[in-house]
Structure 1
Amino acid sequence: MPDNAPRAIAAPLLHWYDAHARVLPWRAAPGANAPDPYRVWLSEVMLQQTQVASVIPYFETFTTRWPSFAALAAADDADVMAAWAGLGYYARARNLLACAREVAALGRLPETEAELLKLRGIGAYTGAAIAAIAFGQRAVVVDANVERVVTRLFALAEPLPGARPRIRALTDTITPDARAGDFAQAMMDLGSGICTARAPRCLLCPLRPDCDGFATGAPEAFPVKAKKAPKPQRYGTMFWVRRGVEVLLVRRPDKGLLGGMRALPTGPWSDAPPGLADAPVAGDWQLLADTVSHGFTHFTLDVTLATVTIPEHSDPAHFGADGEWWPVDAIESAGLPTVFAKAARVFGRVSC
């Protein structure tokens, strides 16, 4: 079937969704009244580039501590960043707070895509998803799951990422006016549970009769992906400054990677191992045999670990305004980003 031919897939897809929709804490049941816009917005921000299973416990923590835009807007920045720790992509947490404060000032979350896109942290996908799911507006919602379903449905041979404008246009042709939020979530659920990246379960798919990818005999060949360039490799050193039963933590600059988060002191992350050149204090530094590796979106980091013990009367102000002493046995409560939490676990084992 030519990819510009109309496809009446909404009815069979929504019929399938009515019976098989995932039960998620931010979701309303199929056909029910729209869910709380705050919960939809929060979940969609958390779900950006993050799996549902990882998001659920964070979502439940946030909605218990901060159940509304007003509550989140009034929260302390450090508390929110600490609660976000481990979820990754930390700019989302900063944008989350900024957006909550914008919405609190407005008095409500805007209902249209155009108005939603004016808020911090809301891009094309998130704006469309909120408009459809929270407010029932027709919107073209395309995430990774929807990309996979659409490229298979139309057997789209153009590779990603260049194919994305075409994928959005094709998604527009199949998006109905009615039950917009349910349709968007049905597409996501189909991609998550049936039209999976590997071994799609085509015999269970309600769209199989209309699927050109299935007709080719190799639906898993779609979407076509351009070959990825290897990630750059960077190196750094993290420093464990121990004072009695406490360890030095610092606050990272607000702007930049992991901005605003508590962290261990670290030198620059560069193309060659920096060693001890940027140690925060002079002392008898010991390099550990263990190292830590971590993959970020755009590079891979290998970290050398260095430890020193200093006199118990040392003042954290010596290490800058954002220095603070944290109990070693409570380090997990500091809300460290994942790469620093990995290093802290190694340091903790060695220094016990």
Structure 2
Amino acid sequence: MEGSGEFSELSGSGIDPGVTAPDQLPGSHLPGYFAYLSLGFKLISTLIIVLMAGWVFMTIKTTKKLHKPHNIWVANLMATDVITVMVTTIQTSAMMIGFATGVGDFIPCHVFKFLLFPVVVLNATYLIISVDKVVAITFPFKHRRMMTPRAIAGIIAVTWLLPMLLFVHTLFNADGFIKVAQYGTCISTGSAFVEALFTYMLPIFTAAFLSLVLNIHLSMKAYRIHKQIESETSLRGFTNDLEALKTKQATIKKNLKPVTTLLVVVLGSTAIGLLTPLLYIPVSVLAQGSVYNEVVRLVIGPNVGYIVLLLHPLVYGLYFKQVREPMMKLLKGTLCANKFNSAAVAPQPRRMAWM
């Protein structure tokens, strides 16, 4: 197993002098089946994420009425989910299978960490969706003129390029990680707080703040217009003013649903992400703190990201009605097409010669 810092290669004759005791190796306190459970969870989660996110992506791609900036950002989020989970699972599985079979180590930690840059793309997409909604609600006419297909493509390209450039430095930091191949992960030996602040925490908390403010603003506005409609109806009956108020109310509801959906996704992702550091709190009161610490760092921590990725297609595919209804139509159309093709190729019974 390859490592760095206080951990180094294990030779066939024994442990390298740089490692003073076998129990210092990460994961050495855990039963072997933990690694298999972790790998099984990753593979099952990957299958679900690819199917669900791919379904949402194809629905947006094939439904013309969904070809709007907000839905294109959602499609980019789904594509990022698929790329993130596929790259991570392939690397992790290769590490774990290579360790279990002893065939060798093909994925260095600095490459593993570099290929995690799509995670930053996810957080940046949250921010783009929230800022886009702020502009669309505040300046609707300017937003329509600004959000041309070329502008949208440029924003998506920058969203991918910048995180890639931010992570390039990891390719030149081969000694900055400890590899735990048995669990398919790498542990940073230095402090990554500043990097995590700007690449992970800041975008997601900004998106959460904007989504929450927008949600409150639209809800209050919808409530005031609802009261105005009730007042107009009771005093004057049906008027042009009442029709204008109902149009405003419909527009607010149309904007409120995507904002609420984003808020659910962002707050849900934040809550799931916060579970990991919170799980460290009981370590000090447990008798076997080293075992619990390794479970959190090597098993629970790396798998928390899969739960976040599962949340995205489930929320946008099941909760977001604007996408859910076309998804169901796409599924029915696919099933009907398969039945028709099966019936078309079914062999016909041969007629007897005497008939």
For the aligned pair, the TM-score class normalised by the smaller chain equals under 0.3
Between 1 and 2, higher relative CO (CA 8 Å, sep ≥ 6) is seen in: 2
Give the structure with the larger helix fraction.
Answer: 2
Larger radius of gyration: 2
